[in-house]
Structure 1
Amino acid sequence: IIHNDEKEIKKAENILKRLSLKDGYFERSLDSDFIIEKSQCENYKKARGYYRHQSVDADFPLGVSILAHESAEQLERLLRILYQPQNIYCISVDKKSHEDLHKSIKSIADCFDNVFIASETYDIIYMGFSRLKAEFQCLKDLLMLDKLINIEKHPNLIGKKVVDWKYAFNYVGTEFPLITNKDLVKILKMYNGSNEIQVIQDKFRYRYLRKFKEDFINHRILRTNELNPPPPNGYLLAKGYSSYVLSRKFAEYAIFHPKSLDLYNWLKNTLIPEEFYWSTLQLNNHVYSQHGFKPIFYLVKDSLVRYSGWYPKYECKGRMRHGMCVFGIRDLPHLIEKPHFLANKFMLNVDPIAYQCMEEWFDEKEAANSTLNFNFYCNFIKLRSNLANC
């Protein structure tokens, strides 16, 4: 399937046709099926292949945050693919998600000393500030591990270890990595303290000219007639993907600097603020310039941080959802050729075979010698950063 074998693709499509549907979707495993008893943790980790790794990148640990609101199975499968013993993982579960989802993810996290549930979780409303709030919290927790573990002794971090990570990534449960950890570390060393954040010209004034507010009773966003003041501190707004790759130093600026917090608080009354926050901080060199960003590239949409198939530019072979392709088996041969760090989106209840194929492809890629063109990444970084080390 991955290599575009039409015979195998048709065979897979016939299997999908025989699977039972409910309201147009395949049935998923129950979240309760993924509640792991503490006494079974070692068996669970062995059975699922968490011990397959050798810590070849132990000197370059990563901090990873993952947002989840449904499907314990897909979250667990994503964690297995991403897992490295030297990294640290923060998971934020939507507060309004089913109790079984919370229990299952908590039980999985309890099996590891480097996976934890965020110190505070939130009721996340689509397109609202609560999404940025949840991601902000996980990144803050990753920066404050020592305090949370050794001083505050937060219950979610009992038995967890302090990891002095170098770079931070964020994922949502529907995303999937396209680059292995060992290749990623080689690329991040080229970034040398700079970030990978999409930055595009501001053309989205409707999202912030008037104030928006979250309606937590009906779980929706409401637009008001009240005008927003201009952004603080002379920030020029930029938009980009909510996905980021941040150096630790830049993460500290984003989470703790008073001017960053001014912007964070200003975004509380805007629409889809997670697409403004990281990009705006990246663009505005007059506030922070140590990340080496060349601001001329704020007119360029290219970014390696994430690959998505957007309507109408992308001819989706799977299923369109909110204007974005949920990748199916016929999308995979095209997808695996992309140089991006991750892809969005996959859903087990739309195409479970596509997800399984990606897992098998990634496992094989992890075990093999790298075939990446590192010169491509070097040239890409040099065009956008003054810190490139290659």
Structure 2
Amino acid sequence: MSPLRARPGLLVCAALGVFVFLYLRDPTAEEPGEGPPRPPVVECGYYPDELCSALFAGKEAAPQVAKFCKNPQGSEIGAHFHAPGNCSRLTRGLRFITRPLSAEEGNFSLAYIITFRKELAVLVQLLRAIYAPQNVYCIHVDEKAPRKQKAAVQALVSCFENMLLSPRSGEAAASGPTRLQADLGCMRALARPALRWSHVLNLCGQDFPIKTNKEIVHYIRSRWRDKNITPGVAQPPNNGSTTSPGAPEAPPDASVYAAPGQTLKEPPHNLTVYFGSAYYVLTRKFVEFVLTDTRAKDMLQWSAGLRSPERLYWATLNRLKDAPGTTPHAGWEGDVRAVKRRNEEGKGHDGCKGHYVQDSCVYGPGDLPWIIQSPSLFANQFEASSDPLVVTCLARRHRLRVLRAAEVPVEPHWRFDQEGHFDMKLSAERRQQTRPGKRAVRK
């Protein structure tokens, strides 16, 4: 019996798996015995891996193709596939990796908290990329998500013993008290003794990893083994001396965090309030501290009236000197999330090649070179509905890098189809970067 929960998972998966499989299955996949392999496809039609390679290299290779891919032909998605009969076929068809790929990864389990509101195709590609059987995953589904998408997420979660839905469902906006409560609800579920993990990371459903699981594990173990990562500073940044490239911008007046008509009260326990990122990497001991310490509970109650409490809560508690794994003197350290913000154009990046939503870039194909050169663990944000090619190319590159570093035999169904040219291209890039006399580029 799963330590996560006892549920009629197979029945739910069988009932709802048809929808997930037809709606989300990687179009590059094929069933055994279906004839000669087809060229890789995305929702908009067929394209060669040469296109992805060119986009990663920063070449304006196929703007017409990228534009064409913004108008997907939905009827072409599942036309070539048959519905699965059980969870095993569903997960194999979606190309999930089902064994730890190295001893280091197998002995260092991570927990993930993922909030989902829209972009189901991106969420499934994200889960497929970060999935490892030794990790655990908690997904908070926003109550405003479309009904069919909720059913699809439930079906997929039911097929994995190490995934669970948040016990506190409800609205989870991109920011605000509900977002903070969504994270804490998953933390309570993940903190059960039966679940073994070392660090927890939070994501949203429109993120995608830049690094592999092995690279994430190595980064945490080598630099942050017993420490939390909560980038932030003591005062809201209002000049260049307190910010770093990619740091979120905030007005200098802390009262902007108060709801309209309210006055910002003094924080409890005379805490110094820090402003920082909503995204983190936290140790298990720190999570247990947050769920039980009086100061953390009082801070949560105090922040309930603020507009963006998640940008204050984690950064503030991680500066307490007596809490587990805290970094009282840290600033913006920690390469957690790569985001192109409008206010950083010309300083942290060369502009958004997709489009801005609330001053954050929704990536386009032209952003791919910047993304893969970032030292961050994850990038945000992606929309398959507007640019399906972006996350599809990243997913193919990510899987190739994962399998190339695997220390166990690679199962055939872990591979995406038609990888030959792309794999050779990546290998050539690596040789070029590490030739004698050349300085290696950090990926």
Please state which band the TM-score falls in when normalised by the shorter chain.
0.7 to 0.9
Q: Of residues 138, 143, 147 in structure 1, which corresponds to 2:191?
A: 143
The structure-2 alpha-carbon separation of the partners of 1:233 and 1:341, relative to structure 1 and needing over 3 Å to count, comes to: same
Contact kept in structure 2, 1:208 and 1:269, CA below 8 Å: no
Query: Is 2:341 the counterpart of 1:310?
Result: yes
Structure 1 position 72, deviation (Å) = 2.1
Could you tell me which residue of structure 2 aligns to residue 280 of structure 1? 316
Could you tell me which residue of structure 1 aligns to residue 228 of structure 2? 195
Could you tell me which residue of structure 2 aligns to residue 120 of structure 1? 168
Q: Of residues 288, 293, 311 in structure 1, which corresponds to 2:327?
A: 293
Q: Equivalents in 2 of 1:3, 1:11: separation in Å?
A: 9
Structure 1 position 302, deviation (Å) = 4.2
Q: SS state of the match for residue 89, structure 1?
A: strand
> What aligned pairs does 1:302-341 form with structure 2 within 5 A after superposition?
302-313=333-344, 314=349, 315-341=351-377
Contact kept in structure 1, 2:230 and 2:315, CA below 8 Å: yes
Contact kept in structure 2, 1:72 and 1:101, CA below 8 Å: yes
State the Cα deviation string for residues 257-289 of structure 1 (Å, max 9, x = none): 11111101111000111111111111232xx34
Could you tell me which residue of structure 2 aligns to residue 85 of structure 1? 133
Structure 1 position 65, deviation (Å) = 0.7
The structure-2 alpha-carbon separation of the partners of 1:363 and 1:237, relative to structure 1 and needing over 3 Å to count, comes to: same
State the Cα deviation string for residues 26-56 of structure 1 (Å, max 9, x = none): 68799x99xx989421111111111354352
Q: Of residues 303, 319, 336 in structure 2, which corresponds to 1:267?
A: 303
Query: Is 2:50 the counterpart of 1:16?
Result: no
Q: Which runs of 5+ in 1 are unaligned?
A: 147-161, 213-222, 374-390
Counterpart residue identity of residue 188, structure 2: K
Q: SS state of the match for residue 86, structure 2?
A: helix
The structure-2 alpha-carbon separation of the partners of 1:333 and 1:2, relative to structure 1 and needing over 3 Å to count, comes to: farther
Could you tell me which residue of structure 1 aligns to residue 289 of structure 2? 253
Query: Is 2:144 the counterpart of 1:96?
Result: yes
Could you tell me which residue of structure 2 aligns to residue 381 of structure 1? none
TM-score (norm 2): 0.69
Could you tell me which residue of structure 2 aligns to residue 172 of structure 1? 204
Could you tell me which residue of structure 1 aligns to residue 23 of structure 2? none
Could you tell me which residue of structure 2 aligns to residue 377 of structure 1? none
Could you tell me which residue of structure 2 aligns to residue 156 of structure 1? none
Could you tell me which residue of structure 1 aligns to residue 414 of structure 2? none
Q: SS state of the match for residue 280, structure 1?
A: helix
Structure 1 position 344, deviation (Å) = 0.7
> What aligned pairs does 1:307-386 form with structure 2 within 5 A after superposition?
307-313=338-344, 314=349, 315-369=351-405
Counterpart residue identity of residue 90, structure 1: C
Counterpart residue identity of residue 68, structure 2: R
Q: SS state of the match for residue 335, structure 1?
A: helix
Q: Equivalents in 2 of 1:51, 1:289: separation in Å?
A: 36
TM-score (norm 1): 0.78
Structure 1 position 210, deviation (Å) = 6.9
Q: Of residues 51, 56, 68 in structure 1, which corresponds to 2:116?
A: 68
Q: Equivalents in 1 of 2:55, 2:368: separation in Å?
A: 11
Q: Equivalents in 2 of 1:235, 1:367: separation in Å?
A: 46
Q: Of residues 181, 184, 188 in structure 2, which corresponds to 1:133?
A: 181
Could you tell me which residue of structure 2 aligns to residue 182 of structure 1? 214
Contact kept in structure 1, 2:87 and 2:159, CA below 8 Å: yes
Counterpart residue identity of residue 337, structure 1: Q
Q: Equivalents in 2 of 1:328, 1:280: separation in Å?
A: 34
Q: Equivalents in 1 of 2:263, 2:325: separation in Å?
A: 33
State the Cα deviation string for residues 114-170 of structure 1 (Å, max 9, x = none): 1110111122345321111111111221113x5xxxxxxxxxxxxxxx421001011
Q: Which moved more, 1:263-272 or 1:303-312?
A: 303-312
Q: Equivalents in 2 of 1:209, 1:230: separation in Å?
A: 14
Q: Equivalents in 1 of 2:257, 2:365: separation in Å?
A: 42
Q: SS state of the match for residue 340, structure 1?
A: coil
Q: Equivalents in 2 of 1:27, 1:272: separation in Å?
A: 38
Could you tell me which residue of structure 1 aligns to residue 13 of structure 2? none
Structure 1 position 90, deviation (Å) = 0.3
Counterpart residue identity of residue 64, structure 2: N
Could you tell me which residue of structure 2 aligns to residue 383 of structure 1? none
Q: Equivalents in 2 of 1:338, 1:7: separation in Å?
A: 14
Superposition RMSD in Å: 3.0
Could you tell me which residue of structure 1 aligns to residue 156 of structure 2? 108
Structure 1 position 88, deviation (Å) = 0.5
Counterpart residue identity of residue 152, structure 2: S
Structure 1 position 239, deviation (Å) = 1.5
Counterpart residue identity of residue 369, structure 2: P
Counterpart residue identity of residue 230, structure 2: I
Q: Of residues 160, 163, 168 in structure 1, which corresponds to 2:195?
A: 163
Q: Equivalents in 2 of 1:181, 1:18: separation in Å?
A: 33
State the Cα deviation string for residues 62-84 of structure 1 (Å, max 9, x = none): 11110000122221111111100
Counterpart residue identity of residue 342, structure 2: Y
State the Cα deviation string for residues 262-320 of structure 1 (Å, max 9, x = none): 101111000111111111111232xx34315151x33xx34311111111323111211
Query: Is 2:103 the counterpart of 1:49?
Result: no
Contact kept in structure 2, 1:81 and 1:359, CA below 8 Å: yes
